[in-house]
Amino acid sequence: MTSLPWGPITAFDVLAMDGDDLRQLPLTLRKTNLARLLARRPDGIFVAPLEQGEIGPDLFRAACRMGLEGLVSKRRDRAYRGGRCPHWVKVKNPNRTFAEMRGSGVRGILVYCADYRCSHCVAMSADASPDDVRLSDIEPRFVCQACGHRGADVRPDFNWDRMPVRQMG
């Protein structure tokens, strides 16, 4: 076995395998299939374990200390559903600033309506925002132009430099 030239990779889920659509299976069975698929993996590819119980708060504090965006939790008994949904819980680092985000190379943000049923999203540049402003500070200020809901889920846009600029509408 050889290690990967670009560093370690962590696999979290598998949605299709051998031509079969696995999205309707619960996460526990998809993880089992993923482990089976990667059983003879090269060094450097890891399967993320299915964590449960009281580890959540400790994991979240560690993510915040490392300056990460936050954590996403999935229910182990649920099928995969694309897009935002109520059984995927995202807990964001409340202290992450625009300076930290830009420091990791991210130059844009995606602003999603806080109502998970609404699909409205706009992309914006993060370059004009002051360094000390936290992403969580600006979320309550947005009002969705599609449904009128107040509040937003603001996320880093890792593809900002590869996409055409979209204006907020």
Digit-coded pLDDT (tens) for 16-53: 999 999 999 999 999 999 998 888 776 778 888 877 77
Residue 168 pLDDT level (bands cut at 50, 70, 90):
very low
Long-range interactions of 126-134: CB distance < 8 A, separation 24+: 126/98, 126/101, 126/102, 126/156, 126/157, 126/160, 127/102, 129/98, 130/98, 131/97, 131/98, 131/99, 131/102, 132/97, 132/98, 132/99, 133/97, 133/98, 134/94, 134/95, 134/96, 134/97, 134/98
Is pLDDT of 1 > 70? no
Digit-coded pLDDT (tens) for 56-87: 788 888 888 887 888 888 888 999 987 777 77
CB-based contact 86:116 (threshold 8 Å): yes
Digit-coded pLDDT (tens) for 102-139: 888 888 888 989 887 888 999 988 888 899 998 888 89
Q: How far apart are CA 10 and CA 112, in angstroms?
A: 26
